[in-house]
């Protein structure tokens, strides 16, 4: 569990915790309600992903948001054995947005990926998600424009990439 103290210009302050959760935890219902695909990822016997579900709660235990990250070998191409993370989803309940909860969830997911040896974490964000783009930009992350062919309504999006600051590049330079 990681604890954060969030405050803004003396107008509000809250202590939150972010921790890994699963179907047996009290926060699971909040994760499933906010991120319905979590049930699919947690129960599909054919899915080989190593999914980690994180929940953010305030000091009273109220659920504020959650995210899902898949950490493991890329599984294809010349980097098939390289451990990477893919942030499957991140969401904050509307009334708790713009208060640092998303940042705390993202930092916790990245820390988890780095602890498990991931060299990078990737995810997509739609061009129209101004709040997400602002958050990721504020953290100095890299953006690659593309179109998401798997989207329900193919929309233009960015792939966001976070590199593990502690990873050594042992592949050499081209």
pLDDT digits (tens, 9 = 90+) for 103-142: 999 999 999 999 999 999 999 898 888 899 999 999 889 8
Q: How many residues does the chain have?
A: 174
What is the pLDDT at residue 128? 87
Domain boundaries, the chain: 2-119
Give the mean model confidence (pLDDT) for residues 50-71.
Answer: 92
Both tokens of 55, joined, read 């929940």
Give the mean model confidence (pLDDT) for residues 87-112.
Answer: 92
35 pLDDT more than 80? yes
Coil, helix or strand at residue 109? helix
2 pLDDT more than 90? no
Give the mean model confidence (pLDDT) for residues 16-41.
Answer: 87
Give the mean model confidence (pLDDT) for residues 55-71.
Answer: 92
Residues 6+ apart with CB under 8 A from 92: 56, 64, 65, 101, 102, 105
Confidence band, pLDDT 50/70/90 cuts, at residue 152? low
Superfamily of domain 2-119: Gcn5-related N-acetyltransferase (GNAT) (3.40.630.30)
DSSP structural state of residue 157: E
50 pLDDT more than 60? yes
- The residues that bridge with 12 in the sheet, in sequence order, are 8
Question: Quick check: 41 and 51 in contact, CB under 8 A?
Answer: yes
What is the pLDDT at residue 150? 64
173 pLDDT more than 70? no
Residues 6+ apart with CB under 8 A from 50: 70, 71, 72
Residues 6+ apart with CB under 8 A from 137: 143
What is the pLDDT at residue 14? 74
pTM over 0.85: no
Helices (H), the chain: 28-34, 37-43, 101-115, 130-138
Please give the mean pLDDT across all residues of the chain: 83
| Helices 130-138 and 101-115: angle between axes, nearest 10 degrees | 60
Both tokens of 88, joined, read 């499957």
Cα 116 off chain centre by: 15
């Amino acid at each position: 569990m990681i604890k954060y103290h969030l405050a803004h210009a003396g107008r509000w302050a809250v202590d939150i915790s972010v921790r890994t959760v699963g179907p047996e935890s009290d926060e699971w219902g909040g994760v499933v309600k906010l991120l319905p695909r979590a049930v699919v990822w947690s129960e599909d016997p054919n899915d080989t992903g190593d999914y980690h579900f994180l929940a953010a709660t305030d000091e009273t235990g109220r659920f504020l948001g959650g995210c899902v990250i898949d950490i493991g070998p890329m599984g294809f191409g010349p980097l098939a054995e390289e451990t990477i993370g893919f942030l499957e989803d991140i969401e904050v309940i509307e009334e708790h947005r713009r208060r640092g909860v998303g940042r705390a969830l993202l930092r916790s997911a990245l820390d988890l990926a780095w602890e498990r040896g991931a060299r990078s974490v990737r995810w997509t964000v739609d061009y129209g998600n101004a709040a997400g783009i602002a958050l990721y930009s504020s953290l100095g992350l890299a953006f690659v424009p593309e179109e998401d062919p798997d989207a329900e309504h193919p929309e233009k999006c960015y792939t966001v990439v976070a590199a593990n600051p502690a990873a050594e590049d042992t592949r050499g330079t081209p």
